[in-house]
Amino acid sequence: MLCTINQIAPLRVRFAMSNRDYITLFGSLESLKSEANIALKLADDSRYEEAGAVELIDNEANRQTDTIQIFARFPNAGRKLLPGSTVTVLLTKNTGVRLPAVRPSAVMHDSYDAYVYTLDAQNQVVRREVKLGSDLGDLILIKTGLQAGETVIVDGTHKVMPGDKVAPVAQED
């Protein structure tokens, strides 16, 4: 009788990162190992609650795909992750700078820019050009163009125009 033995806690997640992303975001293996924030999105699109850490990085890129294999370790204390499961890896760089984040539904694009609609002190709609950061799945980081604490329209963006006066309704997180 043959069987397979799998370790469940901690669990190792293997994923590939393009060489281009590796060079652009991190630049060195040491930086990737020390500055990477790793989160997971599960098959039901929910976010896995435990953070992972880079455990091992292949020191050679795959020539066919130009990717680097990375192994991240997750505690898996609640035994929610199972070996062989498919997850989405959300990889960001810890820069020490906190950025505002918005839901993807708030971000719009035209021929030139990405933008969001914010509200001024009189609850009038203001178009704000933004520079997008990392896409975390359920949130998108905003590098420039938005300050923490500003009110952003996340639903009904197609129904408003700059200058319109609206009655904001707080959305539960």
Tens of pLDDT, residue by residue over 66-83, are 999 999 999 999 999 999
Task: Please tell me the predicted confidence (pLDDT) of residue 173.
Answer: 60
pLDDT at 25: 85
**CA pair distance 13, 54, nearest whole angstrom:** 9
* Predicted local confidence at residue 126, as pLDDT: 97
Q: Tokens standing for 44? A: 């039901």
SS3 label, residue 84: coil
Is the same domain home to 87 and 22? yes
Tens digits of residue pLDDT in 143-153: 999 998 899 99
pLDDT of residue 95: 78
| Contact (CB, 8 A) for 133 and 99 | yes
Does a structural domain hold residue 2?
Answer: no
Whole-structure pTM value: 0.62
Assess if residue 83 is contained within a domain.
yes
User: Per the domain annotation, does 171 fall within a domain?
Assistant: no
Q: How many domains does the chain have?
A: 2
Q: At 150, which CATH number?
A: 2.40.420.20
* Encoded tokens for 5: 């033995």
Which residues constitute the domain of residue 38? 11-93
- Give me the residues of the chain with pLDDT under 70, please: 173
Q: In this structure, is residue 3 part of a structural domain?
A: no
| Residue 57, both tokens | 């990085």
Task: Count other C-beta atoms under 10 Å from residue 130's C-beta.
Answer: 22
